[in-house]
Structure 1
Amino acid sequence: MADQGFLDPSLPVTLHEQISNEFRSRIASGTWPPRYRLPSEPELAAELSVGRGTLRRALLTLLEEGLLRRVPGKGTFVTSTTIEPAIAQKLTGLSEDFTSQGIVSATEVIDCSLIEPPAPVAALLEIPAGGEVLRLYRRRSTAGGPVALLHNYVRAVNLPGIEHVDFEKESLFNTLETTYRLRIATARRTFSAEPANEMVSERLGVPLGSPVQYLEQVTYLADGHPIEYSDVWIRSDRLRVTSLLSR
């Protein structure tokens, strides 16, 4: 998070310009990664010990530059460098989609452990320094072979024992909702095509550099707090992603 220690009223640069410069630096360095949700204006103003007016002028500068964008009812986010048209659809997990379509699938857990998250993940999940996440790596397969590789990071606070759940049998969303009584409300999904790196190539059985469908997701609870971040790679020759839309 921002630290008011960088502010110096004695400089010939206004406070709001100093704040804009600091936030711009955090975006450029990846400390605030694409799709990172900024704390609320009251929280930021309190952290920086500045007035709301000063903070708003700083944010307005970055909004006008296109580095930030406001989503009504959601907050202010760091802008992604890619075009992201919004698609409204029901939020389900991949295992739920398979079950609803009668597809028989198997899940292999590659890793399930508590770790200190990478900095971009910590920012997206609003995890303070020293906090932990559940790192859950899984591979989903059908009769035809591997179809998806899932890397999930889940805020571990108030989720005692989650690292011991058998995620080869249990779905992540169902565990969060039934075992831990969390109310999952929304998620932001971004789709793109990516060349398979060595890890994806090996796990999904595709040639190195061949195109795979990539999905990035941040999931939020009903209170607006993020709970999960995921990277998902899909073999598009075995699994197609379809959205049912309404206007």
Structure 2
Amino acid sequence: MLQTTNALPLHTQASNYMREKIYNREWVVDEQIPTEFELTGILGMSRGTVKRAIKALVDEGLLVQIRGKGTFVTRPNITHPAGNCLLSFAESLHSQGIEFETHVLEQQTIPADEFLSSKMQVPVNAPVLFLRRVRSVDGEPIMYIENRVNLLQAPGLDRVDFNQEALFPSMERCAGKRIGYSSARYAAKIAGEIRGRILHVGEEAPVLHLEQQIFYADNTSAEWGNVWLRANRYVVGTILQRV
């Protein structure tokens, strides 16, 4: 398997070999992969090179290492629906019977700058709630959330304890009206240093990024948010009807 004439570094060649085993379903979900010792023989590479390759796939979310047991192919076991039904991530987790914890990293009122004024359809210097949270399942962070909420439409929202309360119901209660719809887009991104540290993944690890703008049913702007999801724990699912 070792290709000394290949321009790719040896650890990258090893990662590519293992990644293809997973993508081709030769190594299936929840299956234990060969040991590091076995892989050194299969690949003809040093143990250090194999360890580095495995770590890269752990950071990508394709493998998980369990102390005392070995390395296994991971299962993305949390789904967020993308379709005609608008659910917050908290509501999505509740609907799947998944227990989670929310920890507020930052909560403050900021004045809207020109960008937020344009994005959220509010005057410059209008009060905006800036909220940063991390959500964990079984003690493991699965998503990092940044929200910027229009306080002109939802007075009193800045006094809510978001360690305990979900954002969407709180917005509807304070605004006295229902959330109507969203405009959203997903993209694959690299975690980077800060978000990698928050999500407990390597800074080169892939994450799923959601940028979403929420509107109330009367078409007024409610919130603009960004969510970074661990790629090894979250998938986006949808049901589409042919018309």
- TM-score, with length taken from structure 1: 0.62
Q: Does 1:214 align with 2:205?
A: no
Structure 1 residue 198, shift from structure 2 partner: 1.7
Q: After TM superposition, list the pairs within 5 Å mapping 1:1-247 onto structure 2.
A: 88-143=83-138, 145-247=140-242
Aligned AA (1:162): L
Structure 1 residue 148, shift from structure 2 partner: 0.3
Q: Take 1:119 and 1:129, find their aligned partners in 2: how far apart are those partners?
A: 6
Structure 1 residue 144, shift from structure 2 partner: 5.4
* Paired position in structure 2 for 1:79: none
Q: Take 1:202 and 1:231, find their aligned partners in 2: how far apart are those partners?
A: 17
Q: Take 2:227 and 2:100, find their aligned partners in 1: how far apart are those partners?
A: 16
Aligned AA (2:90): S
| Unmatched tracts of structure 2, length 5 or more | 1-81
Q: What percent identity do the matched residue pairs reach?
A: 32
Structure 1 residue 119, shift from structure 2 partner: 3.4
Contact (CA 8 Å) 2:142, 2:229: kept in 1 or not?
yes
Residues 31-71 of structure 1 deviation map (CA, whole Å, 9 limit, x = unaligned): xxxxxxxxxxxxxxxxxxxxxxxxxxxxxxxxxxxxxxxxx
Aligned AA (2:105): I
Residues 104-137 of structure 1 deviation map (CA, whole Å, 9 limit, x = unaligned): 1000001111002343332110121121200011
Deviates more, 1:131-140 or 1:159-168: 159-168
Divergent runs of 4+, >4 A:
none
Q: Take 1:133 and 1:148, find their aligned partners in 2: how far apart are those partners?
A: 22
Q: Take 2:92 and 2:113, find their aligned partners in 1: how far apart are those partners?
A: 29
Q: Take 1:177 and 1:236, find their aligned partners in 2: how far apart are those partners?
A: 30
Contact (CA 8 Å) 2:155, 2:174: kept in 1 or not?
no
Structure 1 residue 158, shift from structure 2 partner: 4.4
Aligned AA (1:90): C
Contact (CA 8 Å) 1:88, 1:246: kept in 2 or not?
no
Aligned AA (2:146): H
Aligned-residue CA RMSD (Å): 1.5
Aligned AA (2:166): S
Q: Take 1:180 and 1:220, find their aligned partners in 2: how far apart are those partners?
A: 12
Distance 1:158 1:217, change over 3 A: closer
Distance 1:158 1:190, change over 3 A: closer
Structure 1 residue 225, shift from structure 2 partner: 1.5
* Paired position in structure 2 for 1:77: none
| Unmatched tracts of structure 1, length 5 or more | 1-86
Instruction: Using CA pairs under 8 Å that are at least 6 residues apart, name the structure with larger relative contact order, 1 or 2.
Output: 2
